[in-house]
Structure 1
C-alpha cells in the first residue's frame, strides 16, 4: 500500500487550472493562505 503524500501547491496553480486539486487522487493537497 502506498503512503499518502501531501502536496503543497501555490494559488497560481489553481488559477491556471481550477481542476488541478482533483488530479492528485488519493493524496492530500494543501494551499497555503496568509491572513493578515
Structure 2
C-alpha cells in the first residue's frame, strides 16, 4: 500500500474518532442538562 493511501486512511480514522468523541460529548451535555 502506498504512503499516500496510508496517510489518507489515518486522516479519515482521526476524523471518524473525533466525530464520535464530539457526539459523545453532546449526548453527555444533553443528559446532564
Normalising by the residue count of structure 1, what TM-score does the alignment of the two structures yield?
A: 0.21
Structure with the higher helix share, 1 or 2: 2
**Which is bigger in relative contact order (C-alpha 8 A, separation at least 6)?**
1
Q: In terms of Rg, which structure is larger? A: 2
